[in-house]
Amino acid sequence: MAEENNDKDLRERLDSLSAALDAQHKASQEQKADTKSTDEAGRSLGRAINLGFRVLTEFVAAIIVGGLIGWKLDDWCKTSPLFLILFLAAGTAAGFWNVYRIAMPPKGSSGGL
């Protein structure tokens, strides 16, 4: 009688323990999935901001370089504002070209950041 009681106790205890283990496992998995999704969201937000910033800097940098070259050429050749206008236009075109290249990464390189 005593032994049977003991057995029953043991089984009950085992059941409750395994139930607790299951619950914990489930909770930890849920938490993992949760952090994973927030991680993913944070990373994609960072990536999007980064991509936008990259487009902005590449575009503006090309225009600035074009403007500087034109300005300096005008300075040397005393043809103000001929070269400035020409090179600003070329710089703008180069800016668009830069942006196009970001949008259409050449094969082999890992673009699209």
Partner 1 sequence: MAEQTFDPIHQFHIDRLVDFHPFGFDASFTNAALFMVIVVLAVSGLMILGTGSRSLVPGRLQSAAEMSYEFVASTVHLSAGHEGMKFFPFIFSLFMFVLFSNLIGLIPYTFTVTSQIVVTFALAIGVMLVVILYGLFRHGLHFLKLFVPSGVTIFLVPFLILIELISFLSRPISLSVRLFANMLAGHITLKVMGGFVAALLGAGAYAVIAPLPLLMVIILTAFEFLVAILQAYVFAILACVYLNDAIHPGH
Residue 104 CB, shortest distance to partner 1, in Å, is: 12
| Range 23-82, binding partner 1 (CB under 8 A) | 42-43, 46-47, 50, 53-54, 57-58, 60-62, 64-66, 69
C-alpha angle with apex 44: 37 to 96, nearest 5 degrees? 165
Q: Nearer Cβ to partner 1, position 17 or 104?
A: 104
Q: Nearer Cβ to partner 1, position 2 or 108?
A: 108
Instruction: Encode 11-37: b = buried (16+ Cβ within 10 Å), e = exposed.
Output: eeeeeeeeeeeeeeeeeeeeeeeeeee
Q: How far apart are CA 82 and CA 84, in angstroms?
A: 6
Q: How far apart are CA 26 and CA 29, in angstroms?
A: 5
Residue 25 CB, shortest distance to partner 1, in Å, is: 26
Binding positions for partner 1, rule: CB under 8 A: 42-43, 46-47, 50, 53-54, 57-58, 60-62, 64-66, 69, 87, 90-91, 93-95, 97-98, 101, 106, 108-111, 113
